[in-house]
Amino acid sequence: MGALANKEVGNYLNSQFVCAFQKVGTFQVVNGQKQGGNVVSYFCTPKQGVLDAIPGPVDAETFLREARWVVETRKLALLDSGGEVDRYKRALRLAHAQRLPQTDKLAGINWPALPLYQESEAALTSLLKTNPAVPSLDKLDRAHLLLAAYPLVKLDQAYRPIYEEILNEKVSTRPVLTKAQSTPQNIGHSSYSAPVLVQRKPACAPDLLDPLQKPGPVRSSSAEMLANDRRLLQVQELNTARNNPPSTMIYSGKALNTLLADLVKLQADGSASSPVPLNTRLLKNVNVASEEDGEGGGNFGLLKHGGKLEWPLAWRAASLGRQTNDLRGRVAELIQKAMTQIRSNREVADTLATLHGKVDELSALLKKHVNDLPTPDYLTANRFLGELEDGLTVLGQSNAAEYVEGKFALDPHKIKSVQDLVQFMSKRGLKFAPSLRGEEGSYVALQRRLALADQTGQSQADLDNGEL
């Protein structure tokens, strides 16, 4: 497989995975040339649960992108699951669903509401044969659809449906045939086998190593395995948050919250470093939320400046701007009305219902102009509506008044350093919320300052844990 010959791919796989090969099909060798056959690359847990699959040969860039996605997605899913197996599977489901194109046949699926279906080879085969969305998807997207429907399905249940229904190949135990010979012979595994890449575990935890490489003791339960994995990944997560985390991890607030939690611990045990200065101007571009708000608690960021909206250019230019001018003005009026009602402790449900309806109207109008706008402008306009909906979600929460009255706002008069920020947020029970459009630079700058404070405040025990 060409991608596996790439040095960057090889280095990454060697650092993150152990590799095994399994022949599941056959082909012929004619005059020294391979004819027929195919390959699937599987990324699995140590218990052979499929995290991702790449059907067919791909280039090095695609392979490396998928491998990195698997590593980061698994880390986040383990941390978000709290050690609960079903939550872990649902987190993986949503990650695969987010990779799918939003076609008409897929856009209406409410992935969080779906039950965790009983896994079987027949069920996977049936989905690939009968689901109406499948014909319009490429091979990689079909794998994502399958793993969104059946997250963490066992490899022995998945390999045949993927090989036969996605690649249109036949599973076969027949050996490789060489045309010049009268009897069959096998050739080197690397020529015809499908890589099975299993997440590598640290040497200090031999019981978690890939069973194909070095069997460990029998684990008592999936919950125990997740708890052990989660403990190790918390250390890895902190190291990633300190040292050049992916941009998506910064923009989502996850890297900042990981560092915040560690800095709170350092302050509590007296290990905090000397003050790290903070440019307080960036605080206006940083969003926060109450720790009591769940993952779906919205984001007040778009409304944090008194509810005044700055509509992107795509909403104000050309025909879309003219057609939506009055509607956008009505949305602005309703937001001010809702915030006034919240300050006065009056019922706001009817106003919010009307607002959601107006946002739906704007979304419908935007879709009608999809062919009139450059793709970046359309995406910006659509993202703005999503950020607006997140803000309205906060206005419907029981603690909306604390947001509207500015009790959660980062106060630049009280925050002059990273340590001030940590103390301010921990005292009020706050966490970082995701960045909005145009705020990404402030989040990157803040991550660097938090990481600097966290690194200089580490104890020797922290450093030892970081080497796991």
Per-residue pLDDT for 373 more than 60? yes
* 48 contacts 156 by C-beta, under 8 angstroms: yes
pLDDT tens for 223-262 read 665 666 666 667 777 888 888 788 888 999 999 999 999 9
Beta-carbon count within 10 A of 6 CB: 17
Per-residue pLDDT band for 204 (boundaries 50, 70, 90) equals very low
* Sheet containing 40-44, strands listed edge to edge, beginning at the edge strand earlier in sequence: 17-22, 194-199, 40-44, 50-55
Cα 66–chain centre separation: 12
- What's the pLDDT at 462? 35
Report whether pLDDT(146) > 80.
Answer: yes
- Asked if residue 193 lies in contact with residue 22, where contact means CB atoms within 8 angstroms, the answer is yes
In this predicted structure, what is the pLDDT of residue 275?
Answer: 84
73-124 residue pLDDT tens: 888 888 777 678 888 899 999 999 999 988 888 877 888 888 998 889 999 9
Q: What is the DSSP letter of 163?
A: I
Rg (CA), the chain: 26
For the cut 50, the answer to whether the pLDDT of residue 189 exceeds it is no
Is residue 52 within 8 Å of 30, Cβ to Cβ?
Answer: no
Cα separations in angstroms, 287 against 251, 421, 437, 449: 11, 13, 12, 16
- pTM score of the predicted model: 0.53
Terminal-to-terminal C-alpha distance of the chain: 32
Lowest mean pLDDT among 248-257, 263-272, 385-394, 412-421: 263-272
Give residue 140's pLDDT. Answer: 94
pLDDT for 224: 60
Q: What is the mean pLDDT of the chain?
A: 80
Rounded Cα–Cα distance for residues 388 and 301 (Å): 9
**CA angle 139-142-146, nearest 5°?**
145
Query: Whole-angstrom Cα distance, residue 36 to residue 9?
Result: 25
Rounded to whole angstroms, the Cα distance separating 281 from 445 reads 11
Using CA atoms, how far apart are residues 246 and 240, in angstroms rounded to an integer?
8
pLDDT single digits (tens) 268-291: 887 666 788 998 889 999 999 998
Return the ∠ at Cα 228 (arms to 227 and 233), rounded to 5°.
95
